[in-house]
């Protein structure tokens, strides 16, 4: 059965993608002066302000569904904030002005500005809590099951992509909570690629052959999971998730946000209900996906990824020079 697409009844949002490319570029440029300064809040604040100012110039009726927190926690890009000129299509927006704030503040690789956009009402309103995740690229689409063991998923993915299980490369965040996952990879003879922060990059890596990652798996932030799922939907990959409330308060929070069954397996089409979505990222520091912001001969150079969903899935890497 064909997935219902919101674009069938609403104005197509793809033309907005280049406007949001500018948003991501400006946010990354604003955060760049704080790289390696040990002040992640200042960097996040600079990126947030630049992002908000630029989004308010776009002809859209934008609604922040994943942002910097609730209204009483964040003065800008708070959940429920309305942005844009008030004209044009109605859209849901999920943002992280600095994905990998710790990395950026320490001058380390793989910090990004990331944005996901989809028609109004089509993005999961994920609470700020942990989420179990598994992601793969297009060749393994339909071959993952988050309720199965990682070993079983590795066997299924290896068969789908025509690899021996010992050739699989599995990306996992380097945390004690993932020790069992890492052990399963080692026991299968597969290859672990550990990373410290920023699992959006790892999810995207599964869908781009040159990045040589077959599976991303682990437990990380739910808001980042929605952004990663949008990127993978645009790139033709697959993503499954389960929310992981740690206590009754977090469980109740899920219910309050409209998630009637917090223990439910969430497929990519339930996290991002529309095919008419897009994803934009701009590098802040160098990483496996994108080069970071650079200055050269009086210009600022940015590198970005823009991926669009819909009937023609596509992605582009864009280097831009800003005077």
Convert the pLDDT of each residue in 188-217 to its tens digit. Answer: 999 999 999 889 999 999 999 999 999 999
Lowest mean pLDDT, pick from 104-118, 188-202, 246-260: 246-260
Indicate the domain borders of the chain. 6-121+276-322, 130-271
Tell me the whole-structure pTM to 2 decimals: 0.93
Looking at mean pLDDT, say which of 102-106, 187-191, 259-263 comes out highest. Answer: 187-191
Convert the pLDDT of each residue in 209-229 to its tens digit. Answer: 999 999 999 999 999 999 999
Six token digits for residue 39: 């002040």
pLDDT band at 312 (very low <50, low <70, confident <90, very high): low
pLDDT (average), residues 260-273:
92
Look at the domain 130-271 and name its fold: D-Maltodextrin-Binding Protein; domain 2 (3.40.190)
Lowest mean pLDDT, pick from 34-38, 71-75, 248-252, 292-296: 71-75
User: What homologous superfamily does CATH list for 6-121+276-322?
Assistant: Fructose-1,6-Bisphosphatase, subunit A, domain 1 (3.30.540.10)
């Amino acid at each position: 059965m064909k997935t219902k697409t919101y674009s069938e009844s609403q104005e197509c949002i793809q033309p907005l993608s280049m406007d949001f490319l500018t948003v991501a570029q400006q946010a990354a440029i604003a955060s760049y002066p704080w790289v390696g300064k040990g002040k992640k809040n200042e960097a996040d604040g600079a990126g947030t302000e630049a992002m908000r100012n630029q989004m308010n110039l776009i002809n859209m009726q934008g609604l922040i569904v994943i942002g910097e927190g609730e209204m009483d926690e964040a003065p800008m890009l708070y959940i429920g904030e309305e942005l844009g000129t008030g004209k044009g299509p109605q859209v849901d927006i999920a943002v992280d002005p600095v994905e990998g704030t710790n990395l950026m503040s320490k001058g380390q690789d793989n910090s990004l500005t990331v944005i996901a956009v989809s028609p109004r009402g089509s993005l999961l309103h994920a609470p700020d809590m942990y989420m179990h995740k598994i992601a793969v690229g297009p060749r393994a689409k339909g071959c993952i099951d988050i309720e199965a063991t990682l070993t079983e998923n590795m066997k299924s993915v290896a068969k789908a992509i025509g690899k021996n299980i010992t050739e699989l490369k599995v990306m996992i965040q380097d945390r004690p909570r993932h020790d069992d996952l890492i052990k399963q990879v080692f026991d299968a003879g597969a290859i672990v690629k550990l990373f410290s922060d920023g699992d959006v990059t790892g999810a995207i890596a599964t869908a781009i052959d040159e990045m040589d990652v077959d599976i991303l798996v682990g437990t990380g932030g739910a808001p980042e999971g929605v952004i990663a799922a949008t990127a993978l939907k645009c790139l033709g990959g697959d993503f499954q998730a389960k929310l992981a409330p740690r206590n009754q308060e977090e469980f109740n929070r899920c219910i309050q946000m409209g998630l009637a069954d917090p223990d439910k397996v969430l497929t990519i089409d339930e996290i991002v209900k529309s095919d008419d979505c897009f994803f934009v990222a701009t590098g802040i520091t160098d990483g496996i996906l994108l080069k970071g912001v650079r200055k050269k001969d009086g210009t600022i150079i940015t590198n970005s990824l823009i991926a669009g969903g819909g009937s023609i899935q596509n992605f582009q890497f864009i280097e831009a020079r800003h005077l």
